[in-house]
Amino acid sequence: MKFHKEGYTSLAIVVLFVFVINALADYYDASVYLKWFLYALSAFLLIAILQFFRSPIKRVTPDEGIVLCPADGKVVVIEETEETEYFQDRRIQVSIFMSPINVHVNRNPISGIVSYFKYHPGKFLVAWHPKSSTDNERTTVVVKTQSNVEVLFRQIAGAMARRIVWYVKENDAVTQGAEFGFIKFGSRVDLFLPLGTEVTVNIGDKVVGGKTVIAKI
């Protein structure tokens, strides 16, 4: 387990805040009860930041026959739907909701070449809103495998998650299980798979990024 680089600024702000409020409490000789409250608040804030930005070390052996889960969370959607941005045809959508207590690292579900990438500015609707996939701030990534199978995955911001970070661009070679991005404080990741793909999870399943097999292709 390590602390993710995207949390460095947030950690520095929290540490500075904790130092200042405790220093002021000591300087003004605050009551014992207030000091203990500030100590508890300080501990809570530090633990929360370390929890939010934890980054488990994952060792993944790439397998072209499977689609790995791109994020920790819970499966909230499995349905056949129209994908209108890139494929413009019917696809199987699998959506994973990331709560604030989940690991927020996003991982490549397959290995291959990034054939499409686009960032979309947008709104910050709650992640389970029906229009969050099309109206919220988001990124869309399409990766093509050596077998010419294309999988689209999309980072979607939510009401709390107001910053999406990505580490890929078009024509990059990516490896299954490696980091492709980060969503601060949760939200959602959508996968769009070819029709006929064997989905191996069910709605309500708790899944782990870089470990749980979402589908066989």
What's the pLDDT score for residue 125?
64
The region of weakest confidence among 56-65, 119-128, 188-197 is 119-128
| Residues 116 and 79 both lie in one domain | yes
| Residues 77 and 129 both lie in one domain | yes
| In a domain? residue 90 | yes
Unique residue bearing structure tokens 């500075």: 16
| In a domain? residue 96 | yes
Mean pLDDT value of segment 65-86: 96
What is the domain count for the chain? 2
| Residues 91 and 173 both lie in one domain | yes
| Residues 37 and 137 both lie in one domain | no
| Residues 86 and 150 both lie in one domain | yes
What percent of the chain clears pLDDT 90, i.e. is strictly above it?
Answer: 61
Mean pLDDT taken over the chain = 89
What's the pLDDT score for residue 159?
61
Q: Which residue type, as a one-letter code, is found at position 203? A: I
| Residues 31 and 110 both lie in one domain | no
| Residues 33 and 93 both lie in one domain | no
Half-sphere exposure of 21 (CA within 13 A, CB side): 16
| Residues 205 and 114 both lie in one domain | yes
What's the pLDDT score for residue 50?
87
| In a domain? residue 131 | yes
More confident: 112 or 30 = 112
The first and second tokens of residue 192, run together, are 């769009």
User: Has residue 181 got a pLDDT over 70?
Assistant: yes
DSSP labels, 11-39:
HHHHHHHHHHHHHHHHHTT--HHHHHHHH
pLDDT tens digits along 189-215: 999 999 999 999 999 999 999 999 999
pLDDT tens digits along 141-175: 999 999 999 999 999 987 655 578 999 999 999 99
| Residues 117 and 182 both lie in one domain | yes
Cα dist from 69 to 32, 189, 196, whole Å = 48, 10, 18
CA angle, 145 as apex, 143 and 146 as ends, to 5°?
150
Q: What are the backbone angles phi and psi of residue 14, rounded to the nearest 5°?
A: -65, -45
| Residues 110 and 11 both lie in one domain | no
| In a domain? residue 43 | yes
Active site (catalytic) residues: 187
| Residues 17 and 47 both lie in one domain | yes
Mean pLDDT value of segment 65-94: 96
Distance CA 78, CA 25 (A): 52
What's the pLDDT score for residue 133?
66
Q: What domain range includes position 165?
A: 66-216
| In a domain? residue 35 | yes
| In a domain? residue 60 | no
Mean pLDDT value of segment 110-121: 96
144-156 burial code (b ≥16 CB/10 A, e <16):
ebeeebbbbbbbb
The first and second tokens of residue 77, run together, are 């959607």
What's the pLDDT score for residue 97?
92
| Residues 121 and 167 both lie in one domain | yes
What's the pLDDT score for residue 106?
95
User: Has residue 131 got a pLDDT over 70?
Assistant: no
Half-sphere exposure of 167 (CA within 13 A, CB side): 15
Distance CA 87, CA 71 (A): 23
Distance CA 45, CA 96 (A): 27
pLDDT band at 135 (very low <50, low <70, confident <90, very high): confident
What's the pLDDT score for residue 162?
57
Distance CA 71, CA 83 (A): 21
| In a domain? residue 61 | no
CATH classification of the domain holding 141? 2.70.70.10
What's the pLDDT score for residue 28?
83
What's the pLDDT score for residue 48?
86
